[in-house]
Amino acid sequence: MTAYHIPALLNQSVEGLKIKPEGTYVDLTFGGGGHSREILSRLNKNGRLIAFDRDETTLLNGIDDERLIFVCHNFRFLYHFLKYLGMIPVDGILADLGVSSHHFDNPERGFSFRLDGKLDMRMNQNSAITAENVLNNYSEEKLMSIFKIYGEISSAKRLAREIVTFRANKPLETTTELKEIASKLAPAYDTARFLSQVFQSLRIEVNAEMQALAEMLIASVKVLKTNGRIVVISYHSLEDRMVKNFFRTGDCNRSEPETDIYGQTATPFKVITRKVIVPTEEEIKANPRSRSARLRVGERDN
């Protein structure tokens, strides 16, 4: 399990749930099972855990525990599956939005610019759209928008133009080809970060990550008990901003809560983490991929 993925902020995230031994909890990103194992260790025989993951390969990390129910689907369907299972309401939800080490280190999945492989980037291998589809079929304008919004890349227009010029002669097929194109525009002092932003933006598009996160956050209001908690670990500013906004206002796109005619605000969550939680230097040294992790906790208020 630890070879598959080392969970970031493991203790802080599970502590944030304030687990009741007899409670019902949801791990929305099962991955290598690290968070799930820790949650199960704190439940008694009456406790329950529902674990989601859309990647079928995570079944290889299965936990033999009758208290665990595994749902092999995208967490955007949180409400529908919990309703089907008769598990609403729940006491807590945990979501670690990071890509697992297993995915980054597998060249066949195409998530990393450090390894040569097909331009795939699908979390769900049954999904129709791949990074190769996006790069070869999207318009120049749409590619520019993806790089600018999801990658926050200042040279998005030039990058999109380079890709369109390349594909006029042959389709893009490998991560190495994309890396070579993008490297022309990367700043010499921070090439790795630039390439990470390029690959990140494509991964977000391929997996509709921002849409899934927004749907999950909205669903969390419907499925959590009063005083139930949701813990989210994000890894880039777009995710973190969306989570922060939702906890503060109940709206993923609004940073300030609306007030009624009496000046009162009504939001679904109480913000527990007034200041975002980040890994310690010791954790970063032991697990460098935790460096960008940001943890926030919200509590269902009414």
Q: Find the mean pLDDT for residues 219-233.
A: 98
Residue 253: inside a domain = yes
Which CATH number is 27's domain given?
A: 3.40.50.150
Residue 278 has pLDDT above 80, yes or no: yes
- Residue entry with tokens 């006491």: 91
What is the pTM assigned to this prediction? Answer: 0.92
Mean pLDDT, residues 237-246 taken together: 96
Does one domain contain both 193 and 241? no
pLDDT value of residue 2: 42
Q: Report yes or no on 118 lying in a domain.
A: no
**Residue 270 host element (H or E):** strand 269-271
Q: Is the pLDDT of residue 222 over 80?
A: yes
User: Of the residues 181, 206, 231, which one is the last residue of a structural domain?
Assistant: 206
Contacts of 141 (CB under 8 A, 6+ apart): 160
Judge contact between 239 and 97, C-beta under 8 A.
yes
Cα dihedral 235, 237, 238, 243 sign: positive
176 and 217: one domain? no
Are 60 and 198 in a shared domain? no
Q: Verify that 240 and 281 share a domain, yes or no.
A: yes
Query: Is residue 285 one of the residues assigned to a domain?
Result: yes
Residues 94 and 40 in one domain: yes
DSSP lists the bridge partners of residue 96 as 233
What total number of domains does the chain contain? Answer: 2
Question: Is residue 135 located within the same domain as residue 166?
Answer: yes
CATH number of the structural domain spanning residue 198:
1.10.150.170
Contact 88, 223 (CB under 8 A): yes
Instruction: Give residue-wise pLDDT tens across range 44-54.
Output: 999 999 999 99
Residue 97 shares a structural domain with residue 216: yes
- Judged by average pLDDT, the poorest of 34-38, 42-46, 239-243, 262-266 is 262-266
Query: For residue 112, is it within any domain?
Result: no
* Residue 138 near residue 146 (C-beta atoms within 8 A): yes
The verdict on 250 and 224 lying in the same domain is yes
Range of 47's domain?
A: 10-101+211-300
Final residue belonging to a domain, choices 160, 182, 206: 206
Does some domain include residue 48? yes
CA–CA gap between residue 63 and residue 65 (Å, rounded): 6
Q: Which domain-ending residue is among 165, 191, 206? A: 206
